[in-house]
Amino acid sequence: MDDHILEMRGITKTFPGVKALENVNLAVRRGEIHAICGENGAGKSTLMKVLSGVYPAGSYDGEIVYDGQPVRFNGIRDSEHVGIVIIHQELALVPYLSIAENMFLGNERRGRGGLIDWNKANAEAARLLAEVGLDENPVTPVGQLGVGKQQLVEIAKALSKDVRLLILDEPTAALNDNDSAHLLDLMRRLRERGITSIMISHKLGEITAVSDNVTVIRDGKTVETLSLHAGEVTQERIIRGMVGRDLESYYPERESHPGEEVLRVEDWTVWHPTQERKIVDGANLTVRAGEVVGIAGLMGAGRTELAMSVFGRAYGRNITGRMFVHGKEVRPKNVAEAIDAGIAYATEDRKHYGLNLIEDIRRNVSAAALDKLASRGFVNGNEEIKVAEGYRKSMNVRAPSVASVVGKLSGGNQQKVVLSKWLYTDPEVLILDEPTRGIDVGAKYEIYTIINRLVASGKAVLVISSELPELLGICDRIYTLSAGRITGEVPVGQATQENLMELMTKEKELAA
Amino acid sequence: MTRTVPPSSEPEAQTSTGPKDVAPAVALHTGTSDVRALLTSNLRQSGIYVAFVVIIGLFAVLTGGTSLSPGNVTNIVLQYSYILILAIGMVIVIIAGHIDLSVGSVVALTGATSAVLVIQQGMPWWVGVLAALAVGLAIGAWQGFWVAYVGIPAFIVTLAGMLLFRGLTLQVLDNISLSPFPQGYSRIASGFLNGLLGGNGYDAFTLLIGAIAVAGYAVSQYRSRIARIRYEQPVESFPLFVLKIVLVGAVVMAFAWQLATARGLPIVLIILAVLIIAYSVITTRTVFGRQVYAIGGNLAAATLSGVKVRAVNFWIFVNMGFLAAVAGVVFSSRSNGAQPSAGNMFELDAIAAAFIGGAAVTGGVGTVVGAMVGGLIMAVMSNGMQLMGVDQSIQSVVKGLVLLLAVAFDVYNKRRAGASR
């Protein structure tokens, strides 16, 4: 019988309308590094939130056995109390506080009279920093450290809590190769000290390099747990587990007649707005009239950043490269110029970046092309209603009238309003970032139909999506993006989920 | 009342607007349910008008009718005009998600500028007015620069401006008050147009202007109705349309009659009316106005829709500076001089007017007309309490509570709307 530190049995978690996890089983052996992988939205993070008590006992079905005892956590404090520490993808450090202050936040080292003993705290922090191999003064503000070092501070913080089971959610997503290698090294050393780790990762190279076992989750269900010691588990084998579902036939048929080139981006490089690293690195791509082109990439690959930087430099700095619309070079410096150049970008986050939720359909539809409705600065309100009403009907937005407030519509109908807004700008090329995120199957089908109608009328469409079946179902051609680089260009006839996933996880030749 | 149904409206649209217990067809064609729906859906907007009427009635009773007497109606207009002018600019600032704490100091500085030129230097009155407006525009550009192009929160920029421009006022005035203005200047705020057409015990000219205003309102409403019909938009039935115009006309003419039997048409009322109409049009019907709402509603979405956020923010503050200068001219004219402490706390009255008038603290919501009603609610209350001889301290307490309750009502409404999502 194996010595398991953790067993999660039959975990089922439902959100209103969605079953996020269904009968998930996970067994983690004491002292191992256990990887969990799966596509975006497969339920990995939800599972870890169940484990750490973010979703308290009772809000899910199933059983958690930790150290041989059934446990019920009501909050993150309960799980930390028994030595389970989770480090989230978005680091939870306070940038203006020092390393030591962050490390003992909520867990302060008290001295006499209940006051914090800073000498003791700083000394202990220094010891823990040495343990994780970070050569920094404990009084340095965390904001002055790079992401890689902040990650190490998080791990040192976990050690200060006497961690026994460390959970890392995408620990290397934001790190460069050097920092990644260092972090993986540290994980191995922690394993030698007897600390068990669970690592959620997309990077299959890293998983096969450090972990002992890997559990694959797909659509909220456990697919399989593979032992990496047997030696026969390859990255291809893991990918098969991750994408193994059937392609459902809910993509409307379309005949493809690509015409002339509409958008060409050459040698496009974008730097992170505040950090010293490239987010997009020398990307080249083209989109032709009447063509749907997909961009596949995992979270953090730079998909959205690529699109937004093309859209009038709405993201990043030090943007270099050239772009052409209908063969003519354009250099939009802001969003207004990008719209004038015939580019439209429908965001992945419609609530925060796409819509004015407190306004009605009418004013949202006209927001990006108000000048078309105005003469000498005055908006023709009746014409505006007519235009919005036209889109409400043609897009089949389910709302009583164009005076309905957008914030009260369902996700699918909100997305149709976003599409209407961009269609009204009459773009040459329409970039759709996760066009079906968070909307139900029926609305998805409608969105695909709208996309088909667009390309049939000669528009060019560029689709960014995390769902590979979706890209395979609607695109003519798919680019893969990994760590800011375009790693492949595959005509849809030759694309499979497996070869796309392979290209999406292709890393730069790992630094030796 | 019936409403012409646009041929476009679909069955599902009708069921969802009508109350559940009434058949859809009935809901669309009976007046009661329509009015009820209109009232409940616009509770936030209509609530303020209802409150205004109630408060007017309340003080009319409490003061035994004095508050509605011709002389007092004229007084309210004269006394609070500069707050209303400030509130026009302030509501635009607030819709865009900012705040302006400096307007009281700007009122003082612009008034002081014109006093120095007109009273000390003996220049003609219009030079003082132009100089004050120029100073106001320059101040607006200064604050707009810091807010829009440097990215300093407006709260900080205008808090600094509050100190800065108060200090400059003291410098300009050399710490003393200047008065009196020559007659040309003081007529701006305390002058009346009367006797131009004669009249026995009343001013015929005031009534004529009132009649012209009503006629203008009727014509513009009629034209908008024709345009809506041409675009197949729903309009109210013709009798209701006529009733609406008759009601508005009656209120306007009653107001004009009160003015006419007192001292005639105040010049400052003309200034105020022009500003209210112009800014209502700007906020509701121009591209600029739309962009202000877009920025306040969702800054990121506005940016990604191609709105030039910096330029819009800059002009919002330039405009606020301009209106503060207009208020500065009116106030200095009314007080017939410039004092170092002029305009103290005006910013708070203007901000309160905007919020009582339905502007949202989070931005994106608010109207010029709402802010005017908000300002008038405060004006009628202050004036009424003064007539009743209520102590200044109690007045302050009451005003504070009204502001708090108005915003609480707003927040409550929003939460209710959020819960029904």
Residues paired with residue A325 on neighbouring β-strands, in sequence order: A263, A328
Contact B9 A401 (CB under 8 A): yes
ipTM for the assembly: 0.80
pLDDT in tens, B160-169: 999 999 999 9
Residues of chain A with pLDDT under 70: 1-2, 16-18, 40-41, 231, 244-249, 440-441, 507-512
Label residue A512 exposed, middle or buried (CB < 10 Å: 0-12, 13-18, 19+): exposed
CA-nearest residue to A355 within chain B is: B301
Q: Which domains does chain A have, with CATH numbers?
A: 4-243 (3.40.50.300), 259-342+427-507 (3.40.50.300), 355-426 (no CATH)
Contact A359 B297 (CB under 8 A): yes
Three-state SS sequence of chain B? CCECCCCCCCHHHHHHHCCCCCCHHHHHHCHHHHHHHHHHHCHHHHHHHHHHHHHHHHHHHHCCCHHHCHHHHHHHHHHHHHHHHHHHHHHHHHHCCCCCCCHHHHHHHHHHHHHHHHHHCCCCHHHHHHHHHHHHHHHHHHHHHHHHHHCCCHHHHHHHHHHHHHHHHHHHHCCCCECCCCHHHHHHHHCEECCCCCCCCCCHHHHHHHHHHHHHHHHHHHHHHHHHHHCCCCCECHHHHHHHHHHHHHHHHHHHHHHHHCCCEEHHHHHHHHHHHHHHHHHHHEHHHHHHHHHHHCHHHHHHCCCCHHHHHHHHHHHHHHHHHHHHHHHHHHCCCECCCCCCCHHHHHHHHHHHCCCCCCCCCCCHHHHHHHHHHHHHHHHHHHHCCCCHHHHHHHHHHHHHHHHHHHHHHHHHHHHCC
Whether residue B86 is predicted with pLDDT greater than 50 in this model: the reply is yes
Q: Of B13, B360, B420, which is closest to A401 when you measure between CB atoms?
A: B13
Q: Of A347, A377, A400, which is closest to B304 when you measure between CB atoms?
A: A347
Q: Using alpha carbons, list the distances in angstroms from residue B264 to B289, B327, B384.
A: 34, 22, 22
Q: Using CA atoms, how far apart are residues A221 and A139, in angstroms rounded to an integer?
A: 45
Q: What is the pLDDT of residue B8?
A: 40
Alpha helices in A355-404 (DSSP H): 361-365, 381-394
User: Which helix H or strand E contains A243, and what residues bound it?
Assistant: helix A235-243
CA-nearest residue to B417 within chain A is: A408
Place of tokens 């800014």: B279
Q: What is the pLDDT of residue A275?
A: 81
pLDDT in tens, A451-502: 999 999 889 999 998 888 889 989 999 999 988 899 999 999 899 888 898 8
Chain CA centroid to CA B91, Å: 8
Angle between helices B183-190 and B125-144 (to 10 degrees): 60
pLDDT in tens, B364-387: 999 999 999 999 999 999 999 999
> Is residue A318 less than 8 Å (CB to CB) from chain B?
no
CA-nearest residue to A422 within chain B is: B305
Contact A335 B13 (CB under 8 A): no
pLDDT in tens, B249-264: 999 999 998 888 888 8
Q: Which domains does chain B have, with CATH numbers?
A: 42-194+263-419 (1.10.3470)
Q: What is the pLDDT of residue A44?
A: 84
Contact B301 A367 (CB under 8 A): yes
Contacts of A312 in chain B (CB under 8 A): 306
pLDDT in tens, B201-226: 788 888 899 999 999 999 999 998 98
